[in-house]
Amino acid sequence: MAEILRDGSVFHLRNDQISYVLCEMPGGVLAHLYFGARLERLNAANLLRRADIPADGSFTVQECALDRLPREYPSFGLGDLREGALTVQAPDGSQAVDLRLERAELLDAKPALEGLPATRGEGCAALRLTLRDAHTGLVALLDYAVYDDCPAVTRSAKLVNEGSAPLNVERAYSLCLDLPDDGWDLITLPGAWARERTVCRRPLVAGHQGVSSRRGASSAQASPFIALARPHATQTQGEAIGAALIYSGNFMAEAEVSQFGATRLLLGIDERDFSWELQPGESFRTPEAALVYSGRGIGGMSYGFHRLWESHLLPKRWMNRPRPVLLNSWEAAYFDFDADKLLAIAKAAAASGVELFVMDDGWFGHRDDDTTSLGDWYVNRRKLPGGLEGLGEQVRALGMQFGIWMEPEMVSPDSDLYRAHPDWRLHIPGREDITARHQLVLDMGRREVQDFVVKVVSETLRASGAAYLKWDMNRNFTNIGSAALPAHRQRETAHRYMLGLYAVMERLTAAFPEVLFEGCASGGARFDAGMLYYVPQIWCSDNTDALCRLEIQRGTEMVFPASTMGCHVSAVPNHQTGRVTPLETRFAVALGGSFGYELDPARLDDGERAKLRAQVAFANETQLLRLYGRRYWLQSPFGENDAAWMSVSGDRSEALFTLVRRMARPNAMPPLVRLQGLDADRRYRVVETGEVFGGDELMLSGLCCPLGNGDAAALVYRLRAEA
Ligand code: GLA
């Protein structure tokens, strides 16, 4: 059970796994004392002595360097010389803020975050600390929650201008975590288009290190996540601490190792393209950040995040619910289709048991390539003479659901929308637009743009009767400026965009609760906890090559559970790499997430089509285990020839094990892989071989995995506990 204990000036947030302790210093400065495995109690004097702070209560900010104090929500300029979490410009031009605790409240319910995605508050204990800067009248409400069922604490800050003059918020991070030492490795997930979320681990060094995005979205190049792991920590052993931001726009995630060898983690909206005007009485809310602690390795940290998102963040109506096996038309037809061609693909898909047919890009305006028509969300009758209604009906007549692609946040310069509303795009007056993929970005911060998007998406869903919408977003932001904001507020544009996008997602997912929304951004360039509050799954990458996908899916699962990853079997030679891999291996890898196809089954031979039928049946039969079981990574694909993972059901009666070998090795013994998460006292039958092994021997001795010859070989085993 989560609880918050108060002992004088010490606040202790804990559950049966973790403790998070902070303390009010004399004068009201907030110190951070501990985040780690659960403690019974903590004597603050012990930790404060390290920072040279007298235990007798004679602490003063004047003489005692704040630079040594571990802090909760620091600002720069008044003694703490490390990076701060908050910078606010006062009317006198100064940037210093000195927040002192005024009030502490244990809340009955976790407050909602106005207009932002955030964890739901069921099964948590919540604390609000109110701090004030006497000089400016700025008030900061620091909201914390600790959960019954996961080793996590979430935080966000609400800034209120209770002064009489306008203030300008220039940096408002969501999280600061001061840790007493620097004996950690830093883990981040850098990447690129088609190479999203590579696991990068390196020792912390003195000074600043981290990742950020200024691309308008959380991005393929960086993920709003930062973790520390003890140098000896493995997947199953040692301490790890992760921080993830529930936000989909520009962010900064940084670790700073101080001159004293202490580590400060900071996470929040990137300040370089941000500021926020606060008139007297106005407020600003930071996105929520989640902190997870594991004493059981990096896998324990990942599991902590998976549990947090599954129990408290992902759309409830999709949790533990089967996802339809889908076939997406993109790699099957690209822009080159008409209704007959789509129906032929859909028919072949239906014959394989596919449950949902998705029409990707190219159905609207006069879009035959990517140079035109974004914004003109009316059907191209030349391609689809029966309209969306007609095609939707014909697909449903095949016994499948119909799904559709849209990219609603964008506009093509060649579009009726652009011609009617040129000022709806992000732009800087007088400067040439920078297009990317021949498109411009709509200014989602504007209410009229939001209303337009809600209208066209609603009309499209209604007309097509679609049960699924792929929501795409395919470019980085440039020319970031809004025609709706005065010059001195232009730096609010990117965050206002995100608030507008979230408002739209809120309206649409409420209006169409039964529609399955799948996020996408040139593949996985906006794969973050912010989007996952609205959409239960996101297209993991445009790279569908089975071997590349090993790394992409492994990196994504560092933070996000299997059910959130869209994973499809595609044709060979693979369209991104040119590589040919066996159908079985493409299948084994795509089973790692929400399963589907990205090919034209009509182009397969009879034998392959028969395999597809068996695959769809297998994917369905195993899907609750695959999507919602506990995921264990047994062997990482990074730097290794073999990758192995497994999913184990909550009651440990079932498991699904997958091994993929990149390159065949001559004259080698078959791999012996030690499994995890089974019940040591039960016996498990390997369905595919009929053999029975003890859970203990599978975990301690291992499972021998004979792979066939050839590169990119895979093996998938179902394990069932014997009665
Ligand atoms: C993006 C997506 C693809 C596809 C295309 C369509 O690149 O990631 O899956 O939908 O757009 O233009």
Q: Which residues contact 606 (CB under 8 A, 6 or more apart)?
A: none
* Minimum CA distance residue for ligand 1 atom 1: 522
Write a three-state SS string for 376-440: CCCECCCCCCCHHHHHHHHHHHCCCEEEEEECCCEECCCCHHHHHCHHHECCCCCCCCCCECCEE
**Total Cβ atoms within 10 A of residue 69:** 25
Which pLDDT value is given to residue 43? Answer: 87
pLDDT over 70 (residue 63): no
Residue for token pair 């001559």: 666
Pair 529, 564: CB distance under 8 Å:
no
Report how far ligand 1's centroid is from the alpha carbon of 453 (Å). Answer: 19
- pLDDT tens-digit profile of 157-181? 999 999 999 999 999 999 999 999 9
Question: Domain ends where: 628, 645, 665?
Answer: 628
pLDDT score of 702: 98
Q: What are phi and psi of 617, to 5 degrees?
A: -65, -45
Pocket test for ligand 1, best of 531, 542, 543 (most atoms within 8 A of CB): 542
Among residues 654, 628, 653, 648, which one has the least CA distance to residue 320? 628
Give every CB contact of residue 308 below 8 A, 6+ residues apart in sequence. 119, 147, 150, 152, 154, 290, 292
Report the atom number in ligand 1 closest to the C-alpha of 523.
8
DSSP annotation of 26 reads: T
The predicted model gives 635-640 an average pLDDT of 95
SS3 650: coil
Determine the distance from the C-alpha atom of residue 172 to the mean position of all C-alpha atoms in its chain, rounded to a whole number. 21
Name the pLDDT band for 77 (thresholds 50, 70, 90): confident
**Do 415 and 538 have their domain in common?**
yes
Position in ligand 1 atom list of the atom nearest CA 470: 10
With a pLDDT cut of 90, the percent of the chain lying above it is 95
What average pLDDT score do residues 48-73 get? 78
324 & 298 share domain: no
Smallest CA-to-CA distance from 404 within 422, 394, 412, 392 is with 392
The model's confidence at residue 612, banded by pLDDT at 50, 70 and 90, is very high
Question: How far apart are alpha carbons 556 and 271 in whole angstroms?
Answer: 26
CB 29 within 8 A of CB 286: no
Domain that holds residue 500: 317-628
Residue ending a domain, among 611, 628, 645, is: 628
pLDDT at position 55 is 65
C-alpha atoms less than 13 angstroms from C-alpha of 620 in its C-beta half-sphere: 14
* Residue 647 contacts residue 675 (beta carbons within 8 Å): no
pLDDT at 494 over 80: yes
Provide the 3-class DSSP secondary structure of residue 509. helix
Question: Which protein residue's CA is at the shortest distance from atom 7 of ligand 1?
Answer: 522
Q: Whose CA is nearest to atom 6 of ligand 1?
A: 361
Alpha carbon separation from 374 to 170, 408, 648, 707 (Å, rounded): 34, 8, 43, 47
Residue 43 CA to ligand 1 centre (angstroms): 55
- What number of other Cβ atoms are within 10 A of residue 337's Cβ? 21
Number of other CB atoms surrounding residue 429 within 10 Å: 8
Task: State the pLDDT at residue 531.
Answer: 98
CATH for 211: 2.70.98.60
* Same domain membership, residue 490 and residue 543: yes
**């969501």: which residue's tokens?**
174
pLDDT band at 52 (very low <50, low <70, confident <90, very high): confident
CA angle 102, 108, 113 (to 5 degrees): 75
For a ligand 1 pocket test, name from 361, 526, 549, 576 the mutation site with the most ligand atoms within 8 angstroms of its C-beta. 361
**Which neighbouring-strand residues pair with 146?**
125, 153
The secondary element (H helix, E strand) that includes residue 167 is: strand 167-179
386: left (phi over 0), alpha (psi -120 to 50) or beta: alpha
> What pLDDT does residue 88 have?
97
Kindly give the number of the ligand 1 atom that is closest to the alpha carbon of 521: 8
Q: Which atom of ligand 1 is nearest to the CA of 360?
A: 10
534-567, pLDDT tens digit by residue? 999 999 999 999 999 999 999 999 999 999 999 9
3-state helix, strand, coil in the chain (%, to 5): 25, 30, 45
pLDDT of residue 516 exceeding 90, the answer is yes
pLDDT of residue 44: 84
Q: Ligand 1, from 472, 526, 540, 544: best to mutate by most atoms within 8 Å of Cβ? A: 472
- Distance from the alpha carbon of residue 334 to the mean position of ligand 1, in angstroms: 9
Shared domain for 256 and 278, answered yes or no, is yes
* Closest atom, ligand 1, to C-alpha of 370: 12
| C-alpha of residue 366 to centroid of ligand 1, in Å | 17
pLDDT greater at residue 591 or residue 61: 591
Candidate of 328, 358, 360, 565 to mutate for ligand 1, largest count of ligand atoms within 8 Å of Cβ: 360
Q: How close is the Cα of 519 to the center of ligand 1, in Å?
A: 11
Q: Which among 553, 643, 544 has a CA at the least distance from the CA of 328?
A: 544
What is the DSSP secondary structure assignment for residue 524, as one 8-state letter? B
Question: How does DSSP classify residue 246?
Answer: E
How many whole angstroms separate alpha carbon 186 and alpha carbon 205? 9
Cβ-based neighbours of 685, under 8 Å, separated by 6 or more: 691, 692, 719, 720, 721, 722
Task: For residues 607 and 173, give the distance between their C-alpha atoms in angstroms, rounded to a whole number.
Answer: 56
- When the pLDDT of each residue in the chain is averaged and rounded to a whole number, the result is 97
Final residue of a structural domain among 628, 644, 678 = 628
Residue 385 and residue 272 in one domain:
no
Ligand 1 atom nearest 520 alpha carbon: 8
Q: How many angstroms is it from 473 CA to the middle of ligand 1?
A: 8
Q: What is the pLDDT of residues 1-20, one digit of tens each?
A: 999 999 999 999 999 999 99
Contact 494, 500 (CB under 8 A): no
53 pLDDT higher than 80? no
Tell me the CATH number at 636: 2.60.40.1180
Mean pLDDT along residues 610-630: 98
The total domain count for the chain is 3
Query: 280 and 354, same structural domain?
Result: no
Tokens 């809310």 correspond to: 285
Strand order in the sheet with 3-7: 3-7, 10-14, 18-24, 30-37
Cβ–Cβ < 8 Å for 354, 325:
yes
What's the pLDDT tens digit per position in 416-440?
999 999 999 999 999 999 999 999 9
Whether the pLDDT of residue 294 is over 80: the answer is: yes
* Residue whose CA is at the smallest distance from ligand 1 atom 11: 522
162 Ramachandran zone, left/alpha/beta (phi>0; psi -120 to 50):
alpha
Catalytic residue numbers? 472, 542
CA-atom Rg of the chain in angstroms: 26
Residue 323 belongs to domain with CATH number: 3.20.20.70
pLDDT score of 57: 66
Q: In the predicted model, is pLDDT for residue 64 greater than 90?
A: no
Q: H or E stretch including 475?
A: none
Contact 406, 471 (CB under 8 A): yes
Query: Residue with the nearest Cα to atom 4 of ligand 1?
Result: 330
Do 618 and 643 sit in the same domain of this protein? no
Pocket test for ligand 1, best of 522, 527, 567 (most atoms within 8 A of CB): 522
Backbone angles phi, psi at 694, to 5 degrees: -75, 145
Distance CA 526, CA 619 (A): 26
Taking the centre of ligand 1 as the mean of its atom positions, its distance from the CA of residue 474, in whole angstroms, is: 7
pLDDT band for 50, please (50, 70, 90 cuts): confident
How many Å lie between the centroid of ligand 1 and the Cα of residue 599?
A: 14
> How far apart are the C-alpha atoms of 375 and 580, rounded to whole Å?
37
Please name the residue whose Cα sits nearest to atom 2 of ligand 1.
Answer: 522
Supply φ then ψ for residue 581, to 5 degrees. -125, 155
The pLDDT assigned to 352 comes to 96
Quick check: 619 pLDDT over 70? yes
Give the Å distance between the CA of 11 and the centre of ligand 1.
48
**Helix residue ranges, H only, 7-116:** 44-50
Burial level of 613, CB count in 10 A (0-12/13-18/19+)?
Answer: middle
Q: Alpha-carbon distance 243 to 254, whole Å?
A: 10
With 80 as the cut, is the pLDDT of residue 62 above it?
no
Helix intervals (H) in 440-492: 447-464
Measured from CB, residues less than 6 Å from any atom of ligand 1 are 330, 360-361, 405, 472, 474, 520, 522-523, 539, 542
Q: How far is the CA of 522 from the centre of ligand 1 (A)?
A: 6
CA 570 – CA 332 distance, rounded (Å): 9
> Could you read off the pLDDT of 322-355 as tens digits, one per residue?
999 999 999 999 999 999 999 999 999 999 999 9
Q: Are residues 392 and 418 in the same domain?
A: yes
| 626, 656 contact by CB (below 8 A) | yes
- 15 and 158 housed in the same domain: yes
Q: For residue range 662-718, list pLDDT tens digits in order.
A: 999 999 999 999 999 999 999 999 999 999 999 999 999 999 999 989 999 999 999
Other beta carbons within 10 angstroms of residue 455's beta carbon come to 11
Q: How far is the CA of 523 from the centre of ligand 1 (A)?
A: 7
From 196, 327, 330, give the residue whose CB has the most ligand 1 atoms within 8 Å, as the site to mutate. Answer: 330
Do 208 and 254 touch, CB atoms closer than 8 A? yes
What is the 134 CA–ligand 1 centroid distance (Å)? 51
Contact 304, 152 (CB under 8 A): yes
CA 405 to ligand 1 centroid distance, Å? 9
Cα of first residue to Cα of last residue in the chain, in angstroms, is 33
Arithmetic mean of pLDDT, 348-364: 98
> In terms of domains, do 306 and 323 share one?
no
* pLDDT tens for each residue of 113-144: 989 999 999 999 999 999 999 999 999 999 99
- 157/224 same-domain check: yes
> Taking 90 as the threshold, does the pLDDT of residue 224 lie above it?
yes
553 and 686, same structural domain? no
User: Rounded CA gap, 529 and 421, in Å?
Assistant: 32
Q: Whose CA is nearest to atom 12 of ligand 1?
A: 361
